Amino acid sequence: MLVVDDIESNRLVLEAMLIKMGHRVTLADSGPKGLALFVETQPDMVLLDVSMPEMDGFEVAKAIRRSNTLVPIFFISASTLNQDVVKGLRAGGDDYLFKPLSYEILQSKIESMLERLSLAAVLSKQNHLLLNFRERIEDETHTARDFIKQFIALDKINDPLVKFMLQPAENFSGDLIAVARTPDHRLHVLLADSAGHGLTAALAVIPITQPFYQMTAKGFDIPAIIREINRRVHDYLPLPRFVAAIFLSLDTEMQTLQVWNGGCPSALLLNHDGTQILHRFESNHLPLGIVSSAEFHATPDFYRYSQPHGHVLLCSDGATEITVDDGRTLSHDGLLSGAENLSNEHLFDRLVGGIEHHLKTSQADDDIALILIELPDEVQEDSLESSGTALTLEVTKKNARCYQEASGKIAWEIALTLTADQLKRMDVVPFLLNITDQIEGGNATGKVFLVLSELFNNALDHGLLKLDSTLKNAPEGLENYFEERAKRLAELAQGQIALQLKKHVCKGCSCLTISIKDSGEGFDYTHDPISGVLHNHLRHGRGIALLCNICRDLRYAGNGSEVTACLDYMNA
């Protein structure tokens, strides 16, 4: 304690009282000495006499307050005038006591002040801890945001057919958008909506991204990708955590859509300006992660569209459940009608504008994800024609010489035989492509995938399952074809397919030979399979023309159930 008073008797009385209370006391007989001792001793409290020569108590208090705003200052004066009390409090005093001092009053005032100081110190410490905690949370939030951003990789989505909007309700989005192309250029699109929102929901979609991109890049079909993602979500995320999702695969050449919807709002097939809903892909499956692999159903809906320049609209329930002015939720109808009222010529911009219009008066309660996929014109058949090269199944002299030079010069070889059991549960083409890709250091894509897919699917579909490709030409032919395919594959009890991939290294060239033999009945390959194929617009028969255009050589043998293709591997 620091006592400043120019009268010695007053100083001694205060000193005796404070010592009795258990405090250590420093005495000063003037204002300047009091300031010097304050700097030197840094007391817990200051007791100031008001009337002193040289420098009165008010001036001393003001000087102390310029360097220390927290130390308690008590004024002690014989004056009881209100203006003196007000002046003392305005000078920085915490209390104003009148002489002669009462021991009990002084003691209670000091104890009360010290208790307040103790509480203030605790509060200050807690505030400091909270500040540090906030800084740590902000730093971790920033790190988590960057981490999740790397997994989601929205900045890498640049497919010309896809436009999207993703708006989180909080710092993190539990909605996910992913877009990728298969080696044969099919478009895969994923919209996922994790239960809840915020960081916990955002972390729940992380197991989804890796298998989607990796398996799409290897050419896996949607059912295989969905099954793998469901397995990961089921194994990694405890209930009640689950992920609603829509998977879409678009084949622009065949003008087909495959859509799997588990727990999301309906995917809509729209006409070119969004004024008509041509088809709804309803949610026919449980969200990801609810059931185990054994109980999970991954069969998508097949649909062949006939209108080019149409669109497919995918969205999470955050978009359809925006609360509008009358308390109702927006719904698909509100989403589309809001787009109709805007003048922008682009459907996607109108849809986003409609959402933003409603959000001006309503706050989003959930993350919002919206994807619009354009359905382009059918791929021109001219692309299948060879530039001045006659298509033939005969081996040219150049190719024959290539085979002869390759004899005994095999870089590597893969051979396996698959029975009905493996054929029912394996996605064979991506499996083989993955092995080849690892052998070749990441170069086994593109044409290799196309040739493998065409040859293997012909062997399986037509050799073992005995499917007729002409089924695809009926109005609902593709849907019926894939349904029948799935049924026959599930019932397949016998049969096998033998595959062999062999890389030949010749002088100045490198080629890959793919041989596939199935145990089916084959077909009459002596008839010209090329005639009439290039310029037809049917849904079947174009695969052979495509193979002839890609491969250096294509040969059928036996009863037609054995085929060998050779392609220039340096350009594959």
Chain segment 399-420, per-residue pLDDT in tens: 444 444 444 488 888 999 999 9
Structure tokens at 265: 């709002």
Chain segment 249-296, per-residue pLDDT in tens: 999 888 889 999 999 999 999 988 888 899 999 999 999 989 998 899
Residues sharing a CB contact under 8 Å with residue 90, sequence separation 6 or more, in sequence order: none
Q: At what angle do helices 31-41 and 57-67 cross, to 10 degrees?
A: 30
Residues sharing a CB contact under 8 Å with residue 278, sequence separation 6 or more, in sequence order: 269, 270, 271, 305, 307, 310
Amino acid at 306: S
Sheet with 73-77, strands from edge to edge, namely: 26-28, 2-4, 46-49, 73-77, 95-98
Tell the burial category of 145 from Cβ atoms under 10 Å away from its Cβ (0-12, 13-18, 19+): middle
The per-residue pLDDT for 151 is: 64
**In whole angstroms, what is the distance from residue 505 CA to residue 561 CA?**
27
Single pTM value for the model = 0.65
Eight-state DSSP code of residue 300: P
The per-residue pLDDT for 313 is: 95
Strands 2-4 and 26-28 turn out to be: parallel
For the domain made up of 153-375, the CATH class stated in words is: alpha beta
Strand partners, 512: 503, 567
DSSP secondary structure, 385-411, as one string: S-SS----SSPPHHHHHHHHHHTT-EE
Phi and psi, residue 322, nearest 5°:
-65, 130
**In whole angstroms, what is the distance from residue 350 CA to residue 398 CA?**
58
Question: How would CATH label the architecture of 2-119?
Answer: 3-Layer(aba) Sandwich (3.40)
The per-residue pLDDT for 153 is: 64
**In whole angstroms, what is the distance from residue 328 CA to residue 351 CA?**
18
Phi and psi, residue 540, nearest 5°:
-140, 165
Structure tokens at 269: 């097939």
**In whole angstroms, what is the distance from residue 375 CA to residue 352 CA?**
19
The per-residue pLDDT for 350 is: 87
Mean pLDDT of the chain: 81
Are 504 and 567 in contact by the 8 Å Cβ rule? The answer is: no
For the domain made up of 381-571, the CATH class stated in words is: alpha beta
For residue 249, give the H/E element and its range.
strand 243-251
Structure tokens at 252: 């622009």
**In whole angstroms, what is the distance from residue 387 CA to residue 373 CA?**
33
The per-residue pLDDT for 144 is: 66
Instruction: Reply yes or no: is the peptide bond before residue 183 cis, omega within 30 of 0.
Output: no
Domain boundaries, the chain: 2-119, 153-375, 381-571
Are 106 and 17 in contact by the 8 Å Cβ rule? The answer is: yes
pLDDT per residue as tens, the chain (572 positions): 999 999 999 999 999 999 999 999 999 999 999 999 999 999 989 999 999 988 999 999 999 999 888 899 999 998 888 898 999 999 999 999 998 888 999 999 999 988 888 888 899 889 989 988 888 877 766 766 666 666 666 767 889 999 999 888 777 777 888 999 988 889 999 999 887 667 777 777 777 888 898 889 888 888 989 999 999 888 887 767 788 999 999 998 888 899 999 999 999 999 888 888 999 999 999 999 899 988 999 989 999 887 667 899 999 988 888 877 666 777 888 788 766 665 556 889 888 888 888 787 666 678 888 999 999 875 544 433 333 333 333 333 344 444 444 444 888 889 999 999 999 888 888 888 888 878 877 665 677 888 888 898 889 988 899 888 777 666 666 677 888 888 888 899 999 999 999 888 876 678 888 999 999 888 766 654 444 443 444 444 456 667 777 788 888 887 888 999 888 875 45
